[in-house]
Amino acid sequence: MDITDSSAEEILSVTLPTETVKIQKTSLFIELLLNLCAYPFIAIFMKSVIVRKEFHRNLKLLLSNIPVFLMLMLMTRMILLVHKLQFINVEPSLRKRLEQICNCVMLEKGLCILSISLERFVALYYTKRYENCAYPVPFFGIGLTITQVILGYTK
């Protein structure tokens, strides 16, 4: 039985997208598993930060509750990954948009670094106002820390 060039192209056009989908699904499942494995390590690390008191004392209350925040964010991340697995089979234009959203990660990391720098600057140079959380901006440090955690652990 002869296979012509046109039929070979049809076979390739059918098999390549399914292979790509399999690769994408596999990578997303691996990412999902890594997220599951990461939570205990993050919680242990944050607990050691609380014990060593490496952060400003005004943020101690938030740091004691940070594993709860991390758990909520991890669950949200896993739900998004599962939905992304369902989106793989949709049309290419929607897939392209999803990839563009994922490319914003570098911007998020930059914003995280900026917020950490801003919080440290305010803590060092405006100590009285920073410790008196109620004056210029209520709970300024706590708000910035929540922003850092959200930006740091989401994609």
pLDDT digits (tens, 9 = 90+) for 61-115: 555 555 555 666 666 666 666 666 655 555 666 666 666 655 555 555 556 556 6
Q: Count the domains in the chain.
A: 1
How much is the pLDDT for 8?
46
pLDDT(38) > 60: yes
d(CA 148, CA 119): 10
> Which residues form the domain of 25?
5-153
CA distances from 32 to 35, 80, 113 (A): 5, 10, 25
Model confidence band, residue 9 (pLDDT cutoffs 50, 70, 90): very low
How much is the pLDDT for 5?
47
How much is the pLDDT for 82?
65
How much is the pLDDT for 2?
45
pLDDT(12) > 50: no
What average pLDDT does the segment 112-124 reach? 62
Model confidence band, residue 11 (pLDDT cutoffs 50, 70, 90): very low
pLDDT(148) > 60: yes
The residues, any chain, with a CB within 8 Å of residue 147's CB and separated by 6 or more, are 111, 112, 115
pLDDT(20) > 60: yes
Mean pLDDT, all residues of the chain: 59
d(CA 93, CA 146): 34
Model confidence band, residue 134 (pLDDT cutoffs 50, 70, 90): very low
